[in-house]
Structure 1
């Protein structure tokens, strides 16, 4: 499994996203040390990576929260039980990882 966290410079959620992803990956029985972090630095790189905002959680090159929005160098929001937030819930991220691993 290839776990990757994509962010942009100065993303206010980068650190928390790394911690959240590490916890979710570990709870799903994988080694969080396998997570790589990549900073997206241009619109061209965003388009090539299918990057729809920071932070983006990827497994095996697939965005765990697919989006129809245009690729963008921007902050990303996630739907949670408490409304839109800068990070998904731990439960939501675990479900997304489970679904990707089952595919």
Structure 2
């Protein structure tokens, strides 16, 4: 089981995304699964990662929010949340996405 949090330097949502991801893992009883934080610095770095904008959460190499199209642009990502568009998903959205992706 490999969970990665893919990000770029210019996007300010890394710390909050990591916190929410770890909260979701704890809620699912999987706080023992390590999260790899991976900085993408160039378009070639995105190849084969499932990156769809920063932050992107992948489980075994696949984006857990598959509605985001993979991209080689180093840009921030926008998520549809219950309260509107945001720079990262809610804890409950992450929890549900992890469950829907086999965790």
TM-score (normalizing by structure 1): 0.89
Distance 1:41 1:34 in 2: 22
2:42 equivalent in structure 1: 42
Distance 1:7 1:65 in 2: 15
Partner SS for 1:96:
helix
Partner SS for 1:75:
coil
Q: How many residues align?
A: 102
The answer for unaligned runs of 5 or more in structure 2 is none
68-77 or 37-46: bigger deviation: 68-77
Distance 2:98 2:33 in 1: 16
1:3 equivalent in structure 2: 3
Q: Following TM superposition, by how much is the alpha carbon of 1:81 offset from its aligned partner in structure 2, in angstroms? A: 1.1
Confirm whether residue 52 of structure 1 aligns to residue 52 of structure 2: yes
Partner SS for 1:44:
helix
Distance of aligned partners of 1:32 and 1:21 in 2 relative to their CA distance in 1, 3 Å threshold: farther
Distance 2:77 2:32 in 1: 22
- Tell me how large the CA RMSD over aligned residues is: 1.6
1:83 equivalent in structure 2: 84
Distance of aligned partners of 1:4 and 1:70 in 2 relative to their CA distance in 1, 3 Å threshold: closer
Distance 1:33 1:69 in 2: 25
2:27 equivalent in structure 1: 27
